[in-house]
Structure 1
Amino acid sequence: MQQPIAILDSGVGGLTVVKEVMRQLPREKIIYFGDTARTPYGPRPEEEVIRFTREIVDYLIQFRPKMVVIACNTATAFALADIRSRVAVPVIGVIHPGARAAINRTQSGFVGVIGTEGTIKSAAYEEALKQLKPQIEVISRACPKFVPLVEQGNFRSDETYKTVADSLEPLRSTPIDTLILGCTHYPFLADAIAEAVGRHITLISSAEETARDISTILQVKGRLALGEAMPVHQFCCSGDPALFKAIAQQWLNEEIELTPIVWQVPNIG
């Protein structure tokens, strides 16, 4: 039986990574968990995000994945080291791949980062960027209103474009030429974000670079699913299954198999 790649996120955002893995590694089986009942993770305390991430990984381990991908920037910032210490398979996040892509694209040396409150407060992107290029200038901004828009499937309304424009207005007067979408939900809003900051700004999604990392690690370990039959992917969510399925099928442009998960849902804060 083919071992899957386990991919998890606070909600539907990690589907941006799933789509890229499906494109780059079409023979790899994916099992995805979107914690839509407890999204967003951004406003939650670090300890809570770590606990949620542990619970999801503990659930996914029953499927014997050959790799775990934390496709959530907040969970990557808070829980990556913890999860790596708890499981025997490779575990990767989305922050370092996104930082690497931005360093490769910027011409001015000024990079913007937008993300959840948790990701921005952690300074994980700034640290990752400066590890790669110490002289880089980083301008960060939290955008807490974006994830709820995506989780509601509200990508292209006038309200969404106005919310995005208002949130990103301060970045228009900065010298950035590259903007990291530091939340895997944000590529759903890429058109609104590009319109808000200016079409001349290069938008960086970590999904493509993360998929490359997955490919490299599996190739080095001799675990690529070369020659396998085309896989049937599995999707799980902890919230509204109908809404998740609608968003997933629209984004991935294909039918999916979905398993709703009953999950305990504490209040934020």
Structure 2
Amino acid sequence: MDKPIGVIDSGLGGLTVAKEIMRQLPKEEIVYIGDSARCPYGPRDPEDVRRFTWEMINRLLKEQMKMLVIACNTAAAVVLEEVKRELAIPVIGVVHPGAISALKVTKRDHVAVIGTAGTISSGAYEKALKAINSEVKVDSLACPPFVPLVERGVFSGDEAVRTVDQALTPLDEKGFDTLILGCTHYPLLREVIRERVGPDIELISSGDETAREVSSLLYHKNLLYVDDRQPQHHFYTTGDAKRFKRLADQWMEIDVGHVETIQLGE
């Protein structure tokens, strides 16, 4: 079907999911909104997160999307089930795919989750993990400094190393063997996090499993685009378009093309 897949996030983080969808489904068109002007969502009141998320969704409905991916863990934790009920198109979050990925690789049934304050306080990952395996042990930790760091384009270097080191200290000696990067911004800090936790810890990003779920759902609903083409992706931000494009080009490792600044809400 010649309609785009909508992807929404509080800012840059959802690009980690969009990149994987584009890799696994190279014929599909992506329409992306990153709400960088109001990022981060993690510390915000859930009702604000709900309102902001619906504003992005309503904007994307104008694009005639065939599927929606809520690539913001905080937003998914707050509003995913409501959106699924309200929309007539398939809707996917990133929490369940991330939980599935973690349970596939943990050897000791001991998983740690890092995320925003909103995601961690919601208990979304622990609920998703235990719904699949009630025996799994889960350690959860909010890492509020990570999203602002990524939104500034600081993915490596001394500041990133110091910030990650301090934030992850409470997880020292916990004994987990798998760490879920429970915010789509966090994979942009993957190498710094890897250095901090060591090579024996499996790092889980939800992008890969989410893209597989997107592919499977589109196939079963007969919504895949089947003809040959070079899709024209569209990227929108509520923040500075030039800055968003520079960081998106860097992370996606492609020229994402024109990025447009839009306004949401009043």
The answer to whether TM tops 0.5 is yes
**1:198 corresponding residue in structure 2:** 198
Q: Does 1:22 align with 2:10?
A: no
Deviation at 1:21, TM superposition (A): 0.4
User: 1:262: which partner in 2?
Assistant: 263
Structure 2 unaligned regions, length at least 5: none
Residue 60 of structure 1: how far off its partner (Å): 0.2
Listed as ranges, the matches of 1:179-218 within 5 Å are 179-218=179-218
Structure 1's consecutive aligned runs of 4 or more residues displaced over 3 angstroms after TM superposition are: none
Distance 1:171 1:251 in 2: 28
Cα-to-partner distance string for 1:192-215 (whole Å, 9 max, x where unaligned): 111111221100000000000000
Aligned equivalent of 2:246: 246
Partners of 1:169 and 1:196 within 8 A in 2: no
Q: How many residues align?
A: 265
CA distance in 1 between counterparts of 2:84 and 2:196 reads 37
Residue aligned with 1:37, SS: helix
Q: Deviations over 1:13-52 (max 9, x none)?
A: 0000011001100000000000000000000011110110
Contact 1:172–1:198 (CA<8 Å) still a contact in 2? Answer: no
Does structure 1 residue 117 correspond to structure 2 residue 117?
yes
Please provide the CA RMSD for this pair: 1.1
Partner AA of 1:252 in structure 2 = M
CA deviation after TM superposition for structure 1 residue 264, in Å: 5.3
The whole-number CA distance in structure 1 between the counterparts of 2:18 and 2:111 is 25
- Whether contact under 8 Å (2:55, 2:265) holds in the other structure is no
Matches within 5 A, 1:42-57: 42-57=42-57
Cα distance, 1:172 vs structure 2: 2.2
Deviation at 1:144, TM superposition (A): 0.2
Secondary structure of the corresponding residue to residue 69 of structure 1 = strand
Equivalent residue for 1:227? 227
**TM value normalised by structure 2:** 0.97
Matched residue type, 2:253: N
Q: Which amino acid aligns with 2:221?
A: K
CA distance in 1, matches of 2:250, 2:145: 22
Partner residue, 1:102: 102
SS at match of 2:235: strand
For residues 125 and 43 of structure 2, what CA distance do their matches in structure 1 show? 17
User: Does residue 137 of structure 1 match 2:137?
Assistant: yes
- What SS does the aligned partner of 1:236 have? strand
Matched residue, 2:175:
175
Q: TM-score, normalised by structure 1?
A: 0.96
**SS in structure 2 of the partner of residue 210 of structure 1:** helix
AA paired with 2:2?
Answer: Q
